[in-house]
Amino acid sequence: KPEVAAQERMVDDGNGKVEVWRIENLELVPVEHQWYGFFYGGDCYLVLYTYKIHGKPHYILYIWQGRHASKDEVTASA
């Protein structure tokens, strides 16, 4: 809802595109949509949120590094 987005100072109304990848063998592997929101402590993830303002694309990239992820996975996610 636009009013919630404004109140919470969100960048948009949540209608943007979400893409999620997990680091596997130091490579980015797409996560299936049904698993969005599930993050495991032994893994690292990249979450890309794409939204438009006045027709121009904007991006927010989140990095989630699990507490038990290997040093190689943490490095690959950064």
Concatenating the DSSP letter of every residue in 19-63 gives EEEEEETTEEEEPPGGGTT---TT-EEEEEEEEEETTEEEEEEEE
20 exposure class (CB count in 10 Å sphere: 0-12, 13-18, 19+):
buried
Cβ–Cβ under 8 Å, residues 75 and 61? no
- pLDDT tens, residue by residue, 42-61: 999 999 999 998 899 999 99
Q: Spelled out in words, what is the top-level CATH class assigned to the domain 17-77?
A: alpha beta
Predicted TM-score (pTM) of the model is 0.80
Contact at 8 Å (CB) between 30 and 41?
Answer: no
pLDDT beneath 70, residues of the chain: 1-10, 12
Rounded distance, CA 27 to CA 55, Å?
32
